Amino acid sequence: MILSMTGYGKATASFDNKKINVEIKSLNSKAMDLSTRIAPLYREKEMEIRNLISKKLERGKVDFCIWIEKDEIDMATPINSILVKNYYDQIKEIAKIHQIPVPQDWFATLLRMPDVLTRVDIQELTDEEWQIVYKTIEEAIEHLIDFRKQEGAALEKKFNEKLDNIERLLASIAPFEKERVAKIRERLTDALSKIPQVDYDKNRLEQELIYYIEKLDISEEKQRLANHLNYFRETMSKGHGQGKKLGFIAQEMGREINTTGSKSNLAEMQNIVVQMKDELEQIKEQVLNVM
């Protein structure tokens, strides 16, 4: 089964009164294009995170984000009681020495003093916490891979529909090929009959006609296109990692369809070629999303 490069995964975990959130999403890209937003506590592990994502996802434009939600109790800024007591003693002493009235509202005064409400939040990442975070990242990646598999199955179904349509259109050309030969012969004969006082060798005309028809023959193009259609299906069955090869096959299919169109001097055949081009264009658009 082929994989799509489009995917989304999310996972959460809890540790020490905080919620760890991991989110990862990907779009198509020719190579691994990874951008990260990592909570400060986990930035020391950025290279390990990047290596894990690159190994698991291989290719795509990937956005990774990990952030922490803390309990409201932990969010409150603590009051430095020792510093408050120190400021209180100093103010009373200064008021006594200089005979200045003490504040009427002690709390309002003391809480405005420097560093009383300054949060000192120094955290260290423990091995226990990192193991939980690592497993959460792996879980989010697996969810994204599952998403890619679902998208890949949808793409494969779409590709098979388009390949079947091209195959059906290719088969519908056959009846017009015989008609085309008769029309070419009729057109040339009519053109010659309108030229006054001209005498031509009918055997030579037949030889020229055969040469002309051989130049317009599309048997080889039809055979090569049929082979490309089968090769596209065969390549899809090999699993993921075939996106670039599928793109090359689609290009080869386009060459055969274009050559068929250039050799088709019958309106009905050219209409069929236009329909085949439309089906192929839809394949080319979607093959960009394949791993």
Query: pLDDT, tens digit, for every residue of 144-194?
Result: 999 999 999 999 999 999 999 999 999 998 888 777 766 777 777 777 677
- Closest among 279, 257, 262, 271 to 176, alpha carbons compared: 271
pLDDT of the residue at 121 = 59
pLDDT of the residue at 228 = 96
pLDDT of the residue at 35 = 96
Domain 7-74+127-148 has CATH 3.40.50: no
pLDDT of the residue at 65 = 97
Q: How confident is the model at residue 210 (pLDDT cuts 50, 70, 90)?
A: low
pTM of the model: 0.73
pLDDT of the residue at 201 = 67
pLDDT of the residue at 74 = 56
Query: pLDDT, tens digit, for every residue of 222-254?
Result: 999 999 999 999 999 987 788 999 999 999 999
Query: pLDDT, tens digit, for every residue of 10-68?
Result: 999 999 888 999 999 999 998 999 999 999 899 999 999 999 999 999 999 999 999 99
pLDDT of the residue at 83 = 82
Q: How confident is the model at residue 75 (pLDDT cuts 50, 70, 90)?
A: low
Range name among 98-102, 133-137, 220-224 with the lowest pLDDT average: 98-102
Section 109-121 average pLDDT: 73
Query: Of residues 6 and 263, which shows the higher confidence score?
Result: 6
Q: How confident is the model at residue 122 (pLDDT cuts 50, 70, 90)?
A: low
Q: How confident is the model at residue 118 (pLDDT cuts 50, 70, 90)?
A: low
Residue 40 to residue 19: CA distance in whole angstroms: 15
Residue 266 to residue 23: CA distance in whole angstroms: 56
